[in-house]
Structure 1
Amino acid sequence: MRIERIARDKVRIFISYEDLERRGIDRDEIWHNGKKVQELFWDMMETAYEEVGFEVAGPISIEAFTMPQEGVVVIVTRVPSLPARKDEEDESEETMDFELPDPLDSNFVFKIRDFEDVVLIAHALVEYAIVTRLFMYNEAYYLTVDENSMSDDEYDSIWAILQEYGEFSGLTPTWLEEYAKTILARDAIQTIADRFSLR
């Protein structure tokens, strides 16, 4: 298990498949809220407090996604109990995630700062039949990608392309649907690649 504090109210936890096996948890079981998974979560929170001073207090948002070779990445965010006031909307995105994500939601989100990079990503990923949507918030773009629409063999390549031009975001698709502007509600990658050519 490896823990990184990536913001005042957010930590990223890497759990290898070997760690899961030692705890008697198989890859599919991680998505179910069984006793072993609950014990693992509280062990993670205890370790996060001991190693980086991250303490669970109040509501939290939990997001998890798998990487075929490495293991599972879990992002835990302390969130306010009420949405930000209008005069607080310019705060960083780390304080914007108000809802506990659906644990069955297979979508993850990447933040892309420039539209040119969105176009580059689109052309790099257009060969993959992945399900994507595009949103805009605070002059940045947010691409949601459905993990279930890619194969294990494709995962690493797609992830590498997204990381090259963007950064993983702690915002959830549910939050984006409510607070961000929807640019493309479906087929975002295919649509952008069709409409915008590379310079």
Structure 2
Amino acid sequence: MIELKIEKINESQIKLILTQADLSERNIKLEDLTIPSEKTQELFHDIMETALEEYDFISENTPLMVEAVPVGLDSIMIIVTKIDSKNQESIGAKILSQQKDLRRFKRKSLVFQEGESDKNSDILIYSFAKLDDVIDFSLRIADTYHDASSLYKLYDRYFIVLQIKQDGDENKAEELELILGEYGQKHISVQLSKYYLIEHGETIIENKAITLLSKCFAC
């Protein structure tokens, strides 16, 4: 089991960062953190137990606010805040002040996820070392892939985001991943990760990356 590296922010707050490998070891997906389940409850129990042992962070009989905020394409920050019922307003103001950027990002992310097209599609996110690799991949699938695709640049890598419509073809995403694996590296593929690219990366082509690249570079 992974070792939880928790940092104490103050007497009312702790935080830790989980990577994709950490979540995979517990058989948890990023989107699972938004839905109560036995696995997420076990993770939260371990977090609070570790916090108690390391920092004497006592949470018994205390209301808690738990936030899960992406801090990269393959990492997520868990923030646990004790809410004193007598001082909820002052604590809320302090949290807002300390974490303005994180809450702004989270708020925008939630709005972004409300789009109907996002609800009815699966998402794949892969990165490539060179633009040539993105072009080669686009040329290879151009005749068969007609759903939304966007291209971003971040950390000197090129990221392709595929929004695959749920049209009953259960093998579509699996077949695309087999091809994508030949060219690039997979990342946590959820809407929050896509928004992280929009927020922090450079948008090169929006929605029609595969179509435009294949047309521009076709022989």
* Coarse TM-score class (shorter-chain normalised): 0.5 to 0.7
Which structure 2 segments of 5+ residues have no match? 3-16, 49-65, 80-98
**1:78–1:166 distance in 2 versus 1, CA, 3 Å:** same
1:164 aligns with 2:182: yes
1:120 aligns with 2:120: no
Normalising to structure 2: TM-score of the pair?
0.51
Does the CA-based 8 Å contact 1:108-1:173 persist in structure 2? no
Does the CA-based 8 Å contact 1:131-1:149 persist in structure 2? no
One-letter identity of the residue aligned with 1:159:
E
Deviation at residue 61 of structure 1 after TM alignment: 3.9
Of residues 135, 146, 165 in structure 2, which corresponds to 1:148?
165
1:179 aligns with 2:200: yes
Identity of aligned residues (%): 15
Does the CA-based 8 Å contact 1:135-1:183 persist in structure 2? yes
Q: Return the alpha-carbon distance in structure 1 between the equivalents of residues 180 and 207 of structure 2.
A: 18
Matches within 5 A, 1:5-16: 9-12=18-21, 13=23
Normalising to structure 1: TM-score of the pair?
0.56
**1:40–1:31 distance in 2 versus 1, CA, 3 Å:** closer
**Number of the residue aligned with 1:111:** 127
**1:44–1:156 distance in 2 versus 1, CA, 3 Å:** farther
1:47-81 Cα deviation digits (max 9, x unpaired) = 899xxxxxxxx74347xxxxxxxxxxxx7622795
Q: Return the alpha-carbon distance in structure 1 between the equivalents of residues 140 and 157 of structure 2.
A: 20
1:196 aligns with 2:212: no
**1:40–1:154 distance in 2 versus 1, CA, 3 Å:** same
1:60 aligns with 2:68: yes
One-letter identity of the residue aligned with 1:60:
A
**1:173–1:167 distance in 2 versus 1, CA, 3 Å:** same
Q: Return the alpha-carbon distance in structure 2 between the equivalents of residues 178 and 76 of structure 1.
A: 15
Does the CA-based 8 Å contact 1:134-1:142 persist in structure 2? yes
Structure with more of its chain in helix, by fraction: 2
Which structure 1 segments of 5+ residues have no match? 20-29, 50-57, 63-74, 85-97
